[in-house]
A and B are shown apart, each in its own frame.
Chain A
Amino acid sequence: DGGITQSPKYLFRKEGQNVTLSCEQNLNHDAMYWYRQDPGQGLRLIYYSQIVNDFQKGDIAEGYSVSREKKESFPLTVTSAQKNPTAFYLCASKGGVQETQYFGPGTRLLVL
């Protein structure tokens, strides 16, 4: 099956800890995106990558880092500098005739 996978489904972070969220796609899409969703707010763009080995900051990149070493993979690291990391994190890739974005199932990050 083609699609986007994210792991883990739930992730717990301790104070001062860096954690990495996985995102993999087998849709052969060039562009990939990371968003966070908080209650009562729209999705906010963290980072995006339009092609392998290139990525750009989104609207709320502080406290996050990414890499794009392979077309299929776009992991997001939530660093200890991110003071309010509790959120629902969504990865997306873009492709198809209409250039629409397709989302993975998301990872819920909680701070202990």
Chain B
Amino acid sequence: GENVEQHPSTLSVQEGDSAVIKCTYSDSASNYFPWYKQELGKGPQLIIDIRSNVGEKKDQRIAVTLNKTAKHFSLHITETQPEDSAVYFCAASTGYGGSQGNLIFGKGTKLSVKP
């Protein structure tokens, strides 16, 4: 089955710096790659996702890149702010739309942004 590895497990940056979180997956059939942000005491919240037919996607200060050949994808946060501090999870799935394919999550990255 699918296996998702996520690095680093913890990341500390200064406010204003960029943060990069990387994930690799094992199943070449995976075609959907979401990123979730989990704040303390809350459930994970979808922040951005990318489909396998797209190499990069941006939404304001966050961007995700996908390299299908290498089977890895990354989350980039620019101009980090203290409110970006949270645990970030990547996930992969072989299904999208109406098809079935469970989300397989990475173990998470605890991001701390120091003011």
Chains A and B form a bound pair: no
Residues on A lying within 8 angstroms of B by beta carbon are none
